[in-house]
Amino acid sequence: MEHFSALDQLPIIDFIAVAFVVGSWFLIGWRIEHPSPKRSSVTMLMAQFHRDWAKVFVDRDPRIFDSQVLGILRQGTAFFASTSILVLGGLLALMGNADPLRGVVEQVGLVEMSVLIWQLKFALVAFFVTNAFLKFVWAHRVFGYGTVMMAAVPNDPNAPDAIDRAMQAAELNIRAVINFNRGLRALYYALGSLGWILGTPALFLTTLIVIWVLWSREFASVPRSILINGKE
């Protein structure tokens, strides 16, 4: 009941800000994964390179390099999953103990803000960190599926099912990468959500910064220019 009363203390602009944060998170994720045919995202460009990799992989002997690349990708997902769970544990510990929150409130001069309000603001951050953790764990699992599928590709490139299995492995790895990128976007939004601690205007500002960073890296970055090689 106390948490419902805390919601009553929030002005309508805070609800609008949270809706803006969550809505933009969904929209930019959808746009990155479903870009315009005239302007593809880095994520989708790399997906095609994964398919090209699968075609080359069939003829490569030995396939040590391919296993090393997959190992590096899985290590990256494991690192971010471990980091996310540590951050989430810290957030939950902070939300569960009101005394440190009350001390922070007094130090920054926001005495009028109740501890429950602060807990709600940290809950938004925890939501994104939780989402990131789940995406990283699933990406790690799907990379494992892709590794097994690549191991099932026959050594003979002329085998009737060699290309089909290689392409299946590519699609599994693409799904893993997409989930990994979703986890990264959630972490970006978790950082942006920290702006709510400074107030609603700060939340709008930090969210706009996150949107700009994600958009520029997917659609206007130097790596993207290198990937398209001036074809657009």
11 token code pair: 């002005």
In this predicted model, what pLDDT tens digit does every residue of 208-224 receive, in sequence order? 999 999 999 999 999 99
Nearest C-alpha neighbor of 199 from the set 113, 97, 134, 99: 113
CA distances from 87 to 48, 94, 196, 227 (A): 33, 11, 18, 34
In this predicted model, what pLDDT tens digit does every residue of 56-82 receive, in sequence order? 988 888 888 888 888 899 999 999 999
Choose between 232 and 195: higher pLDDT: 195
Give yes or no for residue 1 having a pLDDT over 50: no
Residue in this structure with the two tokens 């790690």, named with its chain if needed: 140
Nearest C-alpha neighbor of 129 from the set 74, 215, 191, 198: 191
Give pTM, 2 decimals. Answer: 0.90
